[in-house]
Structure 1
Amino acid sequence: MSSWRLNKIFFEHTSDTIAIVNNRGKILYVNPSFEQVSGYRKDEIEGKSIDALRSDKAFTDAYWENIKGLNGSRNSFRKVFVNKKKNGNYFYLDTKVILYLSTAAGNRNYISIGRDITNILEQTQRIGLLEVELKKSNQTLDTLLYKSSHDLRSPITTIQGLLNLARTDLKDDKLLSYLDMMVQSTSRLDSLLMDLRKLSSIHTNRFSVEEINFEELIGGILEDLSRFIPVDDINVVIHVKVFRKHCYSKYLLSRILRNLIDNACRYRYERNEEKHTVVIRIEEVEGKLQFYIEDNGRGIKEDAQERLFEMFYKAEAVSNRNGLGLHIARAAVEKLRGQIELSSKYNKGTKVKVTLP
C-alpha cells in the first residue's frame, strides 16, 4: 500500500481539517472534516484556487505571506486563521502549514492541518465580555457603597450631637433612657457606615507599602481597643519572630490584625479558674509571613463556621456587632494575595491563621 493511500486513510478519519495546496494556490485535496467545518463539498473546492473561497483579504494575505517564508530550513509555520464558511459565517482554525513536497522544478505542495477553535474563542469572548460587565458593575457598586457610607455619616453625626445636647438639658429619667437607646442605635449605624467605607476602600484603592514594625503596630491596636474593651483584664501574649524587613500596606495589615484581635478579646468565655487569654504570634515560615491569633474564649459552633466570612453574617444572634469584621479581614488578606484560615471549638476557643507572601 502506497504512503499516499496510508496517509489518505488517516486524513479521512481524523477530526482535524486537512487541506493540500500547491504553490499556485490550487487546492488538491480536502478531507471530510474540512468539508464539515467550511461548509464546502469536495467537488466544490478541490481543483479551485484557495483565493476563490469566500475568504477575507486578510486571510489570503496572511496565508501567502507566511507561505513565502517556508524553505528547507524552516518548513512549517503555525497560525490561527480567520476564514469564512460557505454560508458567510466566520470560523477559526488553529493551523499548522507544512512544506511537505518540493521538487527541483520548483513545484511545492503544502499540507494544512487545522483544529476548529471557533466555539472555544466564542466562549472566551463571551467570558471576557461578562468579566468587563462584572467589573463595571463592581465599580458602580463600590462607588455607591463609598458615596452612600460617606454621605450618610454626616446626618448621623449631626443626630448624635443633638442627642448629646438634649441629654444635658433633660432631667426626666424615662426620656433620658430613650435618648440613651437612640444614641446606641445611631452609634451602631455609624459603625456600620464606617465599616462599609473601609470595605469599599479595600476593594477600590491602591495602597502604598512601607516597612512594618509589628510590635508597634500591635501595641497601637491594643491601645485603641482598650477604649472599648477592658484589655487590661485580658492576658495578652505577643510573640514576634521576624528577622528581616517586611514591607506591606500598613492600612491593610491594621484592618486584618485589628479585626482579628478585637474578636479574640471581645468574645470571652468566663471561667472561674482560667483568665481570658489572647495569643498573638507573628513569624516567618518558609519565606512567608504568618499571623496566629488564638484565644480561649467562647469559640464558635461548628455549623456556623462555614459562613463566618460572609458579609453581615453573625454567629451569635444576640451579638450587637454588624457582621463585617471577618469579611473585612478576609478582603484585606485577599488584597495582599494571602490566605486566611479559621478553626474553633465551642466553649474552648478560636484560632485564626493568616499567611502572606
Structure 2
Amino acid sequence: MNTHYLHQIEDILKTKKLSYQFLESFNITDFQDFRCYFILIDDSILYVISIGNADSATWQLFFQNLRSASKIHQKQKLTFIMDASQLGDIPSSSQNELEDYQLFLRESWSKVYFINENLDNTVLESFRDHNSQFAEDVETLNKPHLAIEYALNGHSDNSYENYLNSLSREELIEEAKNLKSNKLVENSEKESNQLLNILKSFKWNKEETKLFETSEKNTFSPFYEVLNSISTDYKNINQKLESLTEEFNNKLQFQVGEILHQEASLRAIFDTLDSMIWLVDSEFNLMAFNQKFRHHLESEYGITPEVGMNVLEQSDLLNKYEKTLDRIKKALKGKEENYRDFYKKDGEVVKVVDSKIFPVILNRNISGVACLTNDISESFEEKERIKSNERIIASVNKNISEAIYRTSHEKGLIFVNEAFVKMFGFDSKEELYQHAKLNSLYENPNDRERLGKFLIKVKEVTNVEVKFRKKNGDIFTGLLSSMVSEDEDGTKYFDGAIRDVTAIKSAQEKLQNQNSELKKLNTELDSFVYSASHDLKAPLSSVKGLINLAKNETSREKLADYLDLVDKSINKLDNFIKDIVDLSRNARQEVQSELIDFNEILTDTLDNYHYLENYDKIKKHIKIEDDIPFYSDKRRLKVIFNNLISNAIRYFNPYSDNPFVKINVKTDSKRAVIKIADNGLGIQSQYLEKIFEMFFRASNNSKGTGIGLYIVKETIQKIKGQINVESELEKGTIFTVIIPNLKS
C-alpha cells in the first residue's frame, strides 16, 4: 500500500507554506487493504486521499465519514479535493452511493476537484459520462499540485500559470508530454468515429456470426482480423461451455441424489433417537419433529402432529406445556438453557425429565426453537444409587482403620484411603501418589515383586504377615489381604487391605516372654522353695543343736566354741536372707540411672569383707579408668561387685605363694567393661555353663548360698548388660562384665 504518497502531499503543502492538520477522528486506518486520510488545509479546503482497494463496507464508511467531515464548519462551505489517484478498485455497487452523492455535492461543498490520474476502475468514468450534472459539479484533474492551486486561487489562466511556475524541470517535462498526448487524442478522433461505424455494422449471432472479408490495402484490416479471431474463439468457447454445462448438470443430479440420500439417512437417525425432538418457528408453528414426539402426542393427548400445526391452538397441550412454552419464549430471545424437571406422586419422585431448549439460527437470525426432551428416570435412579453407595464407601474408607489400596505394575499407586496415608506416615495422598519407589514401603524391597508374582499365581491371599517401612524409616508388621484382577487391556490390578498388627504382635511377644518368664519363675520357685527350706533349716537346726549342747556344758572354753559356731550359722543364715532380698529387689524394682563413682563402690565392697578368713592374705589390685561420666543403677552394681569379689576371696588358693584379686574398670560414652580376676581354686570346665543357675554348687565344699552368681546374672540382664567367665582349675577365674552407659 503506497503510504509514501501521503508524504508527497505533505511536501507539497509544506512547499506552499500552507497550514494543515489531519482529522484523526475521520481517518480510516483499520482495514488491511484500504486507507483514507482527511486533511484540512488553511481551514477552508478538505483534501481526502484514498489508498488501496475498497469494498462495500469500507466504501460506505468512507461516505459516512465524508458527510460528517463536511459539517465541521457550519457557517461556510469547504472546497473538497478527492484524490483517487492511489485508489485501486471500488465496488460496482458504489454507483448507488454516487447517485445519492450528487445532491450532497451541490449542498455541502463550494467546489469539488477530483484527481483521477491512475485509476483503472471505470465506475467513476462511466458515471461521469452518463451524468452531465456530475461534470458540472466536479472538475477532474490529474495532478494534486493543480488541484490545490485551483482550490486556493480558482480556475484561471493565472492559476494555471502559477501552477506551471510551481513545477520543477522534470515536472514541466511530464506536463508537456501530457499536453502532447491530449493533442494526439484529438487527431485520432476521426479515426475513432470510423471504428465505431465498423463496430455498429458488426452483427453478433453466436456461432452463426459471419467473418469479415478484408484485403491488405484496407486501413482497418488488422482490426477486422482481430474481430474474426474473437468470433472463432467464441465458437470454440461456446462448444466447451455446452460440454461443461452437460457435465455440470450430471454432477448436480448426482449430488442432489446424494443430498436426498443423506437427508433420508438423517431423517432415519432423527426418528430413531431416544430423545423427543421438535422444532417450532417464532409463531409456535411446528417446523419438524421425530417419531418419538409423534408417538408421545398421540398416546398422551390423542393429537397427531403435522408440520405447520400451531402449538398454541392445541388447548390440551397448553396446560401441560405451559412451562415449556415459557422456556421457548426465552430461547426466541437467544437464550439457550438446560432443564431438569422432577414429577412427584404422593411426595415421591416418579419421573425425571431432562430438556435442552435452544434457538435455531439461520443467516444470523433466530428462525425458531429446537426442543430436546429425555426421560432419564431409570438412569437418574441408578446414579442416585451409585452416589449413595459412593457415600457409603467414602465413609467406610474414611473411618476404617485398615489401609486400603489399588496398584498396578504399569501405573503404580492408583488409590489409597486416609488410613493408608496415616499408617505409612505421609502428609497427604498427593505426596504418597508421587512417591515413585513403592518397593521402599517394604522392609525388604524385594517383597513387593515377590508378593506380586505370588498373587498372580494364586489370585488371592488373606492375612499374610509382611514387614512394612514407614516414611520415617520405622518398621511395622501388617497383615496383608489382597486379590488380583485384570481389565480388557490386560492390565493387572492389585486391590488389598493392610491391618497394622504391630501392637498385637508386640503384645503377643510380650505375652510369650511373660509366659516363658513365668515358667522359668515357677521352675526356679520350685527349686528355690526346696533349696531355701534346706538352707534355712540347716543353720537353724545347727543353732538348735548347739544350744542344747550348751545347756549341759560347764566348761567356758566349750561354751565359747559353741557360741562361735552359732555365730557362723547365723551369719550364713543372714547372708542367705540378704541374697533373697537382693533377688527380690532386682525382680521388682525399676532401673534407676545415676552417676557412678566406682572408687566409692569398690571401697565399700572391700570393707564389707574384712571379717572373712584369709582376707588379709590376698593382694588387691584395683585399676579404674572412668574419666568419661558413667551412669547406671548404683544399687545393682553393688550387688554385682559384692558377689563376684566375695567369691574371689572365699575361694582363694591356700597353696598359692601370691594370692591376688585384680579389679579393672574402664568406661566410655557407651559402656563400662569390668574385669575381676583371681588366681584362686578355679572352676572345672564342665561346670562353667551351670554356675549361673539357681542353687548350683560346683562341689560339696562350697561355702556360699548357691544363688550368688544367679543373682549376678539376673541383675546384669536387668540393666541390659552381659557377663562372661573364663576359668581353669587351680589356676584362677576371670569374670568380664559389660554394662551400658545409661546416659547414652
Q: Per the shorter chain, which TM-score range?
A: 0.5 to 0.7
Instruction: Determine the C-alpha separation between the residues in 2 that align with 1:234 and 1:243.
Output: 28
Question: 1:125, CA displacement in angstroms?
Answer: 8.1
Q: Which residue of 1 aligns with 2:19?
A: none
Conserved? CA contact 1:299–1:350, under 8 Å: yes
User: Whose RCO is larger (CA < 8 A, sep 6+)?
Assistant: 1
Instruction: Determine the C-alpha separation between the residues in 2 that align with 1:230 and 1:68.
Output: 74
Conserved? CA contact 1:77–1:96, under 8 Å: no
1:239-250 paired onto structure 2 within 5 Å: 239-250=623-634
Instruction: Determine the C-alpha separation between the residues in 2 that align with 1:293 and 1:167.
Output: 43
2:576 is the counterpart of 1:192: yes
Instruction: Determine the C-alpha separation between the residues in 1 that align with 2:559 and 2:704.
Output: 26
1:102-117 paired onto structure 2 within 5 Å: 111-112=494-495
Give the letter aligned to residue 234 of structure 1: I
Q: Which residue of 2 aligns with 1:270?
A: 654
SS where residue 681 of structure 2 aligns?
coil
Match 1:92 to one of 423, 442, 463: 463
Conserved? CA contact 1:167–1:176, under 8 Å: no
Q: Which residue of 2 aligns with 1:221?
A: 605
Structure 1 residues 165 and 228: CA distance shift in structure 2, 3 A: farther
Instruction: Give the structure-1-normalised TM-score.
Output: 0.60
Structure 1 residues 243 and 98: CA distance shift in structure 2, 3 A: farther
Conserved? CA contact 1:77–1:97, under 8 Å: no
Instruction: Determine the C-alpha separation between the residues in 1 that align with 2:517 and 2:589.
Output: 15
Structure 1 residues 208 and 229: CA distance shift in structure 2, 3 A: farther
Instruction: Determine the C-alpha separation between the residues in 2 that align with 1:336 and 1:221.
Output: 20
Report sequence identity in percent. Answer: 22
Q: Which residue of 2 aligns with 1:349?
A: 732
Give the letter aligned to residue 599 of structure 2: E
Question: 1:315, CA displacement in angstroms?
Answer: 1.2
Structure 1 residues 284 and 183: CA distance shift in structure 2, 3 A: closer
Give the letter aligned to residue 201 of structure 1: R
Match 1:257 to one of 612, 619, 641: 641
Q: Which residue of 1 aligns with 2:684?
A: 301
Question: 1:287, CA displacement in angstroms?
Answer: 3.4
Structure 1 residues 165 and 77: CA distance shift in structure 2, 3 A: farther
- Cα deviation, 1:44-66, whole Å, max 9, x if unaligned, reads xxxxxxxxxxxxx99x9469978
Structure 1 residues 61 and 277: CA distance shift in structure 2, 3 A: same
Instruction: Give the structure-2-normalised TM-score.
Output: 0.31
Instruction: Determine the C-alpha separation between the residues in 1 that align with 2:414 and 2:692.
Output: 57
Match 1:202 to one of 579, 582, 586: 586
Q: Which residue of 2 aligns with 1:25?
A: none
Cα RMSD of the aligned pairs, angstroms, is: 5.1
SS where residue 330 of structure 1 aligns?
helix
Instruction: Determine the C-alpha separation between the residues in 2 that align with 1:270 and 1:182.
Output: 26
2:693 is the counterpart of 1:322: no
Instruction: Determine the C-alpha separation between the residues in 2 that align with 1:134 and 1:277.
Output: 41
Instruction: Determine the C-alpha separation between the residues in 2 that align with 1:128 and 1:207.
Output: 19
Structure 1 residues 279 and 179: CA distance shift in structure 2, 3 A: closer
Conserved? CA contact 1:294–1:351, under 8 Å: yes
Question: 1:302, CA displacement in angstroms?
Answer: 1.1
Conserved? CA contact 2:680–2:731, under 8 Å: yes
Instruction: Determine the C-alpha separation between the residues in 1 that align with 2:603 and 2:504.
Output: 55
Match 2:662 to one of 279, 284, 303: 279
Instruction: Determine the C-alpha separation between the residues in 1 that align with 2:629 and 2:681.
Output: 36
Structure 1 residues 301 and 131: CA distance shift in structure 2, 3 A: closer
Structure 1 residues 211 and 102: CA distance shift in structure 2, 3 A: farther
Instruction: Determine the C-alpha separation between the residues in 2 that align with 1:142 and 1:309.
Output: 12
Structure 1 residues 128 and 239: CA distance shift in structure 2, 3 A: closer
Conserved? CA contact 1:294–1:349, under 8 Å: yes
Instruction: Determine the C-alpha separation between the residues in 1 that align with 2:630 and 2:623.
Output: 16
Structure 1 residues 299 and 70: CA distance shift in structure 2, 3 A: closer
Structure 1 residues 306 and 141: CA distance shift in structure 2, 3 A: closer
SS where residue 112 of structure 1 aligns?
strand
Match 2:414 to one of 75, 79, 94: 75
Structure 1 residues 232 and 102: CA distance shift in structure 2, 3 A: farther
Question: 1:231, CA displacement in angstroms?
Answer: 2.5
Instruction: Determine the C-alpha separation between the residues in 2 that align with 1:232 and 1:175.
Output: 28
Instruction: Determine the C-alpha separation between the residues in 2 that align with 1:253 and 1:128.
Output: 27
Conserved? CA contact 1:75–1:98, under 8 Å: no
Structure 1 residues 292 and 171: CA distance shift in structure 2, 3 A: same
Conserved? CA contact 2:679–2:731, under 8 Å: yes
Instruction: Determine the C-alpha separation between the residues in 2 that align with 1:140 and 1:300.
Output: 28
Question: 1:212, CA displacement in angstroms?
Answer: 1.1
Instruction: Determine the C-alpha separation between the residues in 1 that align with 2:660 and 2:715.
Output: 25
What is the aligned length? 276
Question: 1:133, CA displacement in angstroms?
Answer: 4.6
Structure 1 residues 166 and 215: CA distance shift in structure 2, 3 A: farther
Instruction: Determine the C-alpha separation between the residues in 2 that align with 1:229 and 1:67.
Output: 70
SS where residue 334 of structure 1 aligns?
helix
Larger Rg: 2
Q: Which residue of 1 aligns with 2:595?
A: 211
Structure 1 residues 330 and 131: CA distance shift in structure 2, 3 A: closer
Question: 1:210, CA displacement in angstroms?
Answer: 1.7
Conserved? CA contact 2:628–2:668, under 8 Å: no
Structure 1 residues 109 and 189: CA distance shift in structure 2, 3 A: same
Question: 1:270, CA displacement in angstroms?
Answer: 2.3
Question: 1:109, CA displacement in angstroms?
Answer: 8.9
> Any gaps of 5 or more consecutive residues in structure 1?
1-56, 81-90, 116-120
Question: 1:221, CA displacement in angstroms?
Answer: 0.5
Question: 1:280, CA displacement in angstroms?
Answer: 0.3
SS where residue 688 of structure 2 aligns?
helix
Match 2:693 to one of 305, 310, 317: 310
SS where residue 689 of structure 2 aligns?
helix
Instruction: Determine the C-alpha separation between the residues in 2 that align with 1:208 and 1:301.
Output: 36
Question: 1:242, CA displacement in angstroms?
Answer: 1.3
